[in-house]
Structure 1
């Protein structure tokens, strides 16, 4: 049995679809706060445990009889600390992995381990500490080490429709960027083929590194209207997060992460056939961004 957390999120929902379509017929269980958010055909084919996967009682029920778990910590912008948001949220699950003899866990994490800036990278530093917590249980663990997501641009769909998108990176700084659907596909591969042992990272780098300027050219071409990039200072980025009501710990962590990315956090892993993922930014713009912008 495979247990899937966050089955209604961008990555979890895609993962669930892939696993349901697989002909091997793995038994599937999901943890979800609101089962009504699952499509009826999906809900009819999976075992549902209702609640938060940060709750000890919920994960105790969900992991009973489980062979493998997909682990993703949901964002908590009002958490009192980054440790609470990541490792604190994961403590109950880590105990339940051991209690129930879960064999394999696949988690969503970040690039940066081993880089000079990893210890001061905010959300990423906390995510890497969570990986260490899971690995310490003795379970076979693979952390999907991801750069920034293409899908994050969906938050700016209205602005892109008006011809501008913003970010904190230098306009000519090329970095890897990945589609969430490729991250889900990588998770599915690991969950279905559980011949691996030990702990480690699986980078998901996308097929190319792109700068914000590169992205503007592609978006302009796909959308049929000019799109330009405006670099946002970290101070303005901080003010925007605060204005949305995010707590101090999350604001500091997000700003520190973006600063670290500007200093090379995502640049330490070489792209190879094993670390590249297939979806190009152009394909993603045509299939995901364009319909959203035009909606």
Structure 2
């Protein structure tokens, strides 16, 4: 089959591309960076260099595809409007190209029309794709990426703490990019989904105290503790570390508030028995320890 993948060769895209080309599919990978073309070609895939907010480019990249994998790349300003704009362009290009199968990377919480952080953008994108007649769409909804914990390495190393703006007893649904790539690869290879459907990708569920314990022991800091930061203190810390204020508010502060208030996982709770994912936090801890050692 001919499959087009958005998202370049990131944590998900590289593994997804490798799996699909190994199974004999003709894969086109969209990237905004010309420097990625050689790496894409090395995976036996076809590079398509352009911007996902360019409707004409997207239609060319989707032309002839039996299936596409859609995801919204990170954007540092006007986050929600950017997500909505790219979602509109994806829907238009899919319809114009006559694509019949779509695997869309969404996120937990996307059942909420006016949810916190990026969830409202994911909700909008899901609805635009669901409105396409005759197109089979599978939305993958992961939780928090394990790899986000890499950003806490300097704090753990120098301050011997880890934390967020919610308490140590608050649970998080956790997902590894490898599980997400595998779920997408299985779906795109088999095209066994029909209509409009959702599948959660979750390898584990842990609270802050458990995360501190598991990651702390992995890096020889068994006394590592989870600290609850006030919203404003966390925001200023993220900005000082280089994150834009808007990104910090959307992806960190608002999600943290939703976690401590509850409701973000309601739809997941109704469907968690069908969730895809096998990588637990204890499995990721070894990967985390390797990254930690490289910072020393």
8 Å Cα contact 1:8-1:38 kept in structure 2: no
What is the alpha-carbon distance in structure 2 between the residues aligned to residue 236 and residue 7 of structure 1?
Answer: 34
Structure 1 stretches lacking a partner, 5+ long: none
Tell me the alpha carbon deviations over residues 161-213 of structure 1, each in whole angstroms, 9 at most, x when there is no partner.
Answer: 3332221221011232111111111111111111321112111121x320110
Cross-structure match for 1:63 = 62
Cross-structure match for 1:188 = 185
What is the alpha-carbon distance in structure 2 between the residues aligned to residue 40 and residue 277 of structure 1?
Answer: 27
What is the alpha-carbon distance in structure 1 between the residues aligned to residue 276 and residue 166 of structure 2?
Answer: 22
Cross-structure match for 2:144 = 148
8 Å Cα contact 1:35-1:43 kept in structure 2: no
CA 1:78–1:247: 2 relative to 1, 3 Å: farther
Moved more, 127-136 or 259-268: 259-268
Structure 2 stretches lacking a partner, 5+ long: none
8 Å Cα contact 1:161-1:294 kept in structure 2: no
What is the alpha-carbon distance in structure 1 between the residues aligned to residue 205 and residue 120 of structure 2?
Answer: 22
Which portions of structure 1, spanning 4 or more consecutive aligned residues, are displaced by more than 6 angstroms? none
What is the alpha-carbon distance in structure 2 between the residues aligned to residue 124 and residue 113 of structure 1?
Answer: 5
1:47 aligns with 2:46: yes
3-state DSSP of counterpart to 1:75:
coil
8 Å Cα contact 2:170-2:207 kept in structure 1: yes
Cross-structure match for 2:108 = 111
Among 200, 206, 209, the alignment partner of 1:210 is: 206
3-state DSSP of counterpart to 2:149:
helix
8 Å Cα contact 1:77-1:247 kept in structure 2: no
Higher relative contact order (CA 8 A, sep 6+): 1
Aligned ranges 1:243-282 → 2 under 5 Å:
243=240, 244=242, 246=244, 248=246, 250-254=247-251, 255-268=253-266, 269-270=268-269, 272=272, 274-282=274-282
3-state DSSP of counterpart to 1:176:
strand
Aligned ranges 1:99-248 → 2 under 5 Å:
99-114=96-111, 119-138=114-133, 139-162=135-158, 163-206=160-203, 208-226=204-222, 227-243=224-240, 244=242, 246=244, 248=246
8 Å Cα contact 1:6-1:13 kept in structure 2: no
What is the alpha-carbon distance in structure 2 between the residues aligned to residue 174 and residue 251 of structure 1?
Answer: 20
Please provide the CA RMSD for this pair: 2.1
State the 1:59 CA deviation.
0.6
CA 1:256–1:179: 2 relative to 1, 3 Å: same
State the 1:143 CA deviation.
1.1
What is the alpha-carbon distance in structure 1 between the residues aligned to residue 192 and residue 275 of structure 2?
Answer: 19
1:19 aligns with 2:14: no
State the 1:290 CA deviation.
1.1
What is the alpha-carbon distance in structure 2 between the residues aligned to residue 292 and residue 44 of structure 1?
Answer: 25
CA 1:42–1:232: 2 relative to 1, 3 Å: farther
8 Å Cα contact 1:109-1:143 kept in structure 2: yes
What is the alpha-carbon distance in structure 2 between the residues aligned to residue 9 and residue 274 of structure 1?
Answer: 26
Aligned ranges 1:80-99 → 2 under 5 Å:
82=80, 84-99=81-96
